[in-house]
Structure 1
Amino acid sequence: MSVFLIKGAQLLLSLSILVVLHELGHFIPAKIFKTRVEKFYLFFDVKFSLFKKKIGETVYGIGWLPLGGYVKIAGMIDESMDTEQMEKEPQPWEFRSKPAWQRLIIMLGGVTVNFILAIVLFIIMLAVWGTNYNTKDSVKYGYGVSKTLEGYGFQQGDKIISINDELIEDLTIPINKYLMFREVGNVKVEHSNGDIETIKLPEDIGTQLFEAGDLPALEPRFPFKVDSVVPDLPGAKAGLLANDKIVAINGKPVNYFFDLAYGLKNRDGEKINLQVERDNNNFEIEIIPNEENKIGFQPMPTDLDYIEFNNKDYSLSESVSGGFSQAYWEVKDYLAQFKYIFTKKGASQIGGFAAIGQMFPPVWNWQAFWYLTAFLSIMLGVLNLLPIPALDGGHVTFLLYEMVSGRKPGDKFMEYAQMVGFFILIALVLFANGNDIYKAIFG
């Protein structure tokens, strides 16, 4: 099976689980409060359905457009824009006839399930697989360091001892997460010559790294050779072959893969000269990297022990506390990303379904699948809470206004707000997936 199909299958299964459970979060409280649910759909049934069956008062179905799903609740202005129903007298079983607090619970049900699902998955994952972690000395060749961090005193080959004066014996959480999403005042490092230094960092170090494109800012170094070359990209066009060893870039030695990445990003001019070793012969090739500073090949580590992982097992009680803790930090780190998204550079990096699909591994891995499903559940929960009409957060905003002011927004206002919100969402979906298409065409 091709990598595309494996990634696509994982994405489809993950989204299907998330959509069904999210909609159940609305469906169950609606039923508890005796509110009629007319439809429960996985995916959208524009014009026709792949499957549908009416059970009781609800039609359950699967649509053909895999962009989410929905429950159609009677007496509610939603994406169906069923204004004809709203012109009739309110009925006791309709959403609009229920007290505001019940409507609020119904609207918050979906995101509540998203966050609960993430916590449960993290608990199960810790109980089943534990965690893989590495210590300072597990990173055999130290870290490759971005140019921005070099400016603050980091050196190539550094190893991390402590962050904010807290000894780091367990590097389960990547150092890059600390730098990008959390407050890092100082980092103590051991340089490759054995010297130890405490480096102070500014509050905006994450923003500096993001604007400079220095991500990841720290990356484990490993010796390498060319494993495979991507057809039609600069490397292949210049004559680079599998099993080649790149020994220098623009005259500077390349001992580790990070040396090459650093040289590509920080080069002078468009072209680069690579010194390549092939069959005990050295020669130079000239390449113009693509817009992402890549030449198009997969590296193969020549020392598979360049990084060592240890496994930590968890008891049931440790899994529960660890699962809650992991969910908390995943939400906090995800929220921290918004300060980068709302910039010109950040907007250009927003991705759609293709970008999400690329997050999944090229081979089926249940541990990775469930982690990504938990992460996507958090992402879905957070995004649905945004106060945009047509999202759960938009409905919640209007309900909170009603509960505080005692005044219910008019049906016409809600219709127009829903239409505006719907067009905003469509624009965002088109923009995100348009970014994916642009990157696929132009690299």
Structure 2
Amino acid sequence: MTSLFIRSIQLFLSISILIVIHELGHFLFAKIFKVRVERFFLFFDPWFSLLKKKIGETTYGIGWLPLGGYVKISGMMMEDNDNIDSENNNKNFEFRSKSAIKRLLIISGGIFFNILLSVIIFSSLLLKYGEINLPTKNVKFGIEVDSFGKKIGLENGDLILFINGEFIPYFNDIPKAILLGNTITIDRMGKIINLSLSDEKKRFLFERKELSSFIKPRIPSIVNYVIKNSEADKSGIKRNDEILEVNSEFILFSDQLKDTLSKYKNKTVSLSISRNGDLIQKKVFLKKGFLGVYLKNFMDMDKIFLFEKKNFSIIESFTNGVKKTWEVLKNQIFFLKNVFHIKTKAYKQVGSFFSMAKEFPSQWNWDIFWYLTATLSIWLSFLNLFPIPSLDGGYMFFILIEMITKKRIKKIILERCTFIGFLMISLIMIMVIVWDILKVFFY
């Protein structure tokens, strides 16, 4: 329950930041072009608001309905063409009095600011921590795959040579490259094999709850943590012990250990362990096949795997922050494209606020918080580009039509399209929320 609360608070704070930044983009561009902003609200405030204060010509506040936010700009709704030149209906502080290009910039300000936020966050993280990558050539023992990875044809110990005929320099990029690719070339015990990646195969990967973890470097079976009062703890197993044998079955890698232990549920086994260069024997009862330890992952094995750490200057962090933002956007476009391919079943990964909350860690972590906020920010900017009335992209679409035809669209058309767009978005949101709830019971 505590972890759920922490995740929810992180999501709430992240969404609040994204809304304020988005609306700030509209607000500042309106101010630059001397357009009056009547209201600036975080969350919606039908009937009443939680907090509000008027400063100058603008009322700032917080609403009670956390489904978005808004700025109310004077003269946003155009009048009919017959009245557009009327002095009373074309005041110079109103939105509709400005040129098409200025109105387009005001509307796109929110999208621009969300993109800028992503770049700033990614750049700051790169400047602070640099970038740590595992070169593919250093994955010396091949890969370890889960059941979903095996369904697309991969096996433990495979060495990935190429994806779509190209060598992937860093292992971190291989899962994404597989999702985007059509073929994988592997070395399986000296035999070169080409695996095709059809939509039917990718379906197995999209059925996962975590898309990026179906493949990882194969690693030795070294203990990272012994659970207190477990059978392993009682038997004297310690951190950094490397398990070499189970009942005389030789163990090289962690996947082999997991497979071997599963055969001895509720039985006592004899383990051969290497501890500081010494070979020792331990007997452990495997209650339900569970040893009572957590093994190290490849990130804990910097003495075995040679990682590359790259530090960035301020300028380098900014340019790489832009690249990171673009990479995240490309991944989101790819995912959205696959959502509409029924064979991939990528639609199973679609979620509402409930799914987003699960992405945040159960314990507060500012680094992960800011990374996810940057990811959500670029996602918000991308969604707002869609030419759906009531979204920024819808208003931008109408202004672009006006710029091409040299005629303003009538008020009645704008009102009807905006209303239809609002209904569409509301329906989609309801469907996604219902789907998210159903996944708890059926997926």
Question: Is this a same-fold pair by TM over 0.5?
Answer: yes
TM-aligned CA distance change 1:144 to 1:259, over 3 Å: farther
Q: Which residue type is aligned with residue 178 of structure 2? A: L
1:435 Cα offset (Å): 2.0
Q: Which residue of 2 aligns with 1:237?
A: none
| Secondary structure in structure 2 of the residue aligned to 1:337 | helix
Pair member with larger Rg = 2
Q: Which residue of 2 aligns with 1:301?
A: 294
Paired with 2:31 and 2:341, the residues of 1 have a C-alpha distance of: 42
Q: Does the 8 A contact of 1:354 with 1:436 survive in 2?
A: yes
Q: How does 1:283-322 map to 2 (within 5 A)?
A: 301-304=294-297, 308=301, 310=307, 311-322=309-320
1:205 Cα offset (Å): 7.8
Q: Which residue of 2 aligns with 1:177?
A: 176
Q: TM-score, normalised by structure 2?
A: 0.75
| Secondary structure in structure 1 of the residue aligned to 2:66 | strand
1:143 Cα offset (Å): 2.7
1:284 Cα offset (Å): 7.4
Residue deviations 1:215-247 (CA, integer Å, cap 9, x gap): 55424567699x9xxxxxxxxxxxxx9879xxx
1:199 has 2:225 as partner: no
TM-aligned CA distance change 1:307 to 1:206, over 3 Å: farther
Q: How does 1:37-436 map to 2 (within 5 A)?
A: 37-77=37-77, 89-136=89-136, 142-145=142-145, 154-164=154-164, 166-173=166-173, 175-180=174-179, 182-183=180-181, 185-187=183-185, 189-191=186-188, 193=189, 195=190, 197=192, 199=194, 201-202=196-197, 207=202, 209=204, 217-220=214-217, 276-277=265-266, 280-281=284-285, 301-304=294-297, 308=301, 310=307, 311-344=309-342, 345-436=345-436
Q: Which residue type is aligned with residue 339 of structure 2? A: I
Q: Does the 8 A contact of 1:39 with 1:58 survive in 2?
A: yes
Paired with 1:278 and 1:386, the residues of 2 have a C-alpha distance of: 59
Q: Does the 8 A contact of 1:21 with 1:114 survive in 2?
A: yes
| Secondary structure in structure 1 of the residue aligned to 2:312 | coil
Q: Which residue type is aligned with residue 61 of structure 2? A: G
Aligned positions, number: 391
1:165 Cα offset (Å): 5.1
Q: Which residue type is aligned with residue 368 of structure 1? A: I
Paired with 1:260 and 1:47, the residues of 2 have a C-alpha distance of: 59
TM-aligned CA distance change 1:303 to 1:224, over 3 Å: same
Q: Which residue type is aligned with residue 199 of structure 1? A: N
Paired with 2:256 and 2:5, the residues of 1 have a C-alpha distance of: 30
Q: Does the 8 A contact of 1:146 with 1:218 survive in 2?
A: yes
1:389 Cα offset (Å): 0.6
1:211 Cα offset (Å): 6.9
Identify which range, 381-390 or 114-123, moves more after superposition: 114-123
Q: Does the 8 A contact of 2:163 with 2:178 survive in 1?
A: no
| Secondary structure in structure 2 of the residue aligned to 1:114 | helix
Q: Does the 8 A contact of 2:30 with 2:37 survive in 1?
A: yes
Q: Which residue type is aligned with residue 426 of structure 1? A: S
Q: Which residue type is aligned with residue 52 of structure 1? A: K
Paired with 2:414 and 2:52, the residues of 1 have a C-alpha distance of: 29
Residue deviations 1:412-438 (CA, integer Å, cap 9, x gap): 111111111111111111111222222
Q: Does the 8 A contact of 1:139 with 1:306 survive in 2?
A: no
TM-aligned CA distance change 1:361 to 1:211, over 3 Å: closer
1:321 Cα offset (Å): 2.3
- 5+ residue gaps in structure 2? 79-87, 233-250, 269-283
TM-aligned CA distance change 1:53 to 1:89, over 3 Å: same
Paired with 1:400 and 1:154, the residues of 2 have a C-alpha distance of: 49
1:51 Cα offset (Å): 0.7
1:439 Cα offset (Å): 2.5
1:5 has 2:16 as partner: no
